[in-house]
Amino acid sequence: MQDHTADSVKSLEDFDICWLEEAQNISKYSLELLIPTIRKEGSEIWFSWNPKYEDDPVEVLFNSLSDENCTLVHANYDSNKLASDVVLDEAERHKKSNPDTFGHVWLGEFSTITNAQIFKNKYKIFDFEVDNSYGEPLFGIDFGFANDPTTGIELYIKENILFIRNEAYKVGLELDATAKYISKRIPKITNFISRADNARPESISYLKRHGLPKIKAVKKWAGSVEDGIEFLKSFDYIVIHPTCKHSQDEFRKYSYLTDKRTGDILPKIEDDNNHLIDAIRYALEPLIRKKTGTMNSVNINIA
């Protein structure tokens, strides 16, 4: 499923058992191709994996099955009566030296911290209330529909700290419902400029006439994603309000790609878990351009 064109699995037939190792890496699309293919009477599909994220397709699959459809076994090193002293000693060493990753590596818990994580140790989650000392808000919007969410974000900058106060996030949001949905969750957005993806000029034009009168398109440039990430990382830290659950999720998961053969972290950004982060980049676009020298000047007041 990884090394060959996934669609070719549809030509398989008469298989008794299919076994997928490292199943945490399989995509939803590959699962949707595979499961109907293994259809021989009495056939079985076996998965073995070390859990990574709660929304990995294999986790979602097993959460949707009833007990009569599957058998799920959770087995760790401490379940193995034949585990060697070397294994037991290494597990104990890991537990003491790196407790943040011990649960994922040894106990099958979901991963929360990896070296590929772009904003590792860069964000915090705590309650705050905006007052006059925070200055004027910044707003960004990213468009989605069928599989990707439409997102909106409300930001503040204070003392080189980025504050995320409100978010909007919905998959399958119709364009004519977008302004109402976003403004309900981010009430101030109708009174200020909001910046959105310039790949959808027709959507921006529609929203300007139907509920978001100050929306405008961002200007992109070569390397704008990377420049935006570096700009975000230049803050002392990023504070996410506890009510912004999707923002918390994206900042935890947004990662560089990893070579599946070697585990090496690659200098490429995974195009996933980034819809609110894209909206944040759009909101900050004039400041990013000013810092990177991609425009001569900007006119924006931030207290």
Condensed to tens digits (0 to 9), the pLDDT of residues 275-284 reads: 999 999 999 9
In a domain, 183, yes or no: yes
Verify that 99 and 183 share a domain, yes or no.
no
pLDDT at 15: 87
pLDDT of 287 over the 90 cut = yes
Verify that 94 and 127 share a domain, yes or no.
no
In a domain, 113, yes or no: no
Verify that 151 and 36 share a domain, yes or no.
no
Instruction: With cut-offs at 50, 70 and 90, classify the pLDDT of residue 298.
Output: very low
In a domain, 101, yes or no: yes
Verify that 43 and 164 share a domain, yes or no.
no
pLDDT at 67: 74
Verify that 58 and 103 share a domain, yes or no.
no
Buried b (16+ CB within 10 A) or exposed e, 202-230: ebbebbeeebbeebebbebeeebeebbbe
Verify that 141 and 231 share a domain, yes or no.
yes
Condensed to tens digits (0 to 9), the pLDDT of residues 229-250 reads: 999 999 999 999 989 999 988 9
In a domain, 70, yes or no: no
CATH number, domain of 139, equals: 3.30.420.280
In a domain, 148, yes or no: yes
Torsion angle defined by CA atoms of residues 172, 176, 180 and 181, in that order, rounded to the nearest 10 degrees: 0
pLDDT at 278: 97
Instruction: Share the mean pLDDT of the chain.
Output: 88
Give how many domains the chain has, as a whole number. Answer: 3
Verify that 163 and 235 share a domain, yes or no.
yes
Residue, of 153 and 71, whose pLDDT is higher: 153
Verify that 268 and 129 share a domain, yes or no.
yes
d(CA 196, CA 278): 9
Query: Rounded mean pLDDT of 141-162?
Result: 94
Verify that 102 and 51 share a domain, yes or no.
no
pLDDT of 188 over the 80 cut = yes
Query: Rounded mean pLDDT of 278-291?
Result: 95
Verify that 92 and 212 share a domain, yes or no.
no
Residue, of 260 and 82, whose pLDDT is higher: 82
Verify that 95 and 47 share a domain, yes or no.
no
Instruction: With cut-offs at 50, 70 and 90, classify the pLDDT of residue 84.
Output: very high
In a domain, 287, yes or no: yes
Q: What percent of the chain has pLDDT over 90?
A: 51
pLDDT at 54: 80
SS3 assignment, position 46? strand
pLDDT at 299: 37
pLDDT at 193: 97
In a domain, 114, yes or no: no
Q: Transcribe 182-242 into DSSP letters.
A: HHHHSGGGGGS-EEE-TT-HHHHHHHHHTT-TTEEE----TTHHHHHHHHHHTSSEEEE-T
pLDDT at 2: 61
DSSP 121: T
The answer to which of 62-71, 111-120, 253-262, 275-284 has the lowest mean pLDDT is: 111-120
Verify that 145 and 277 share a domain, yes or no.
yes
- How distant is the alpha carbon of residue 116 from its chain centre? 13
In a domain, 71, yes or no: no
Domain that holds residue 101: 77-107
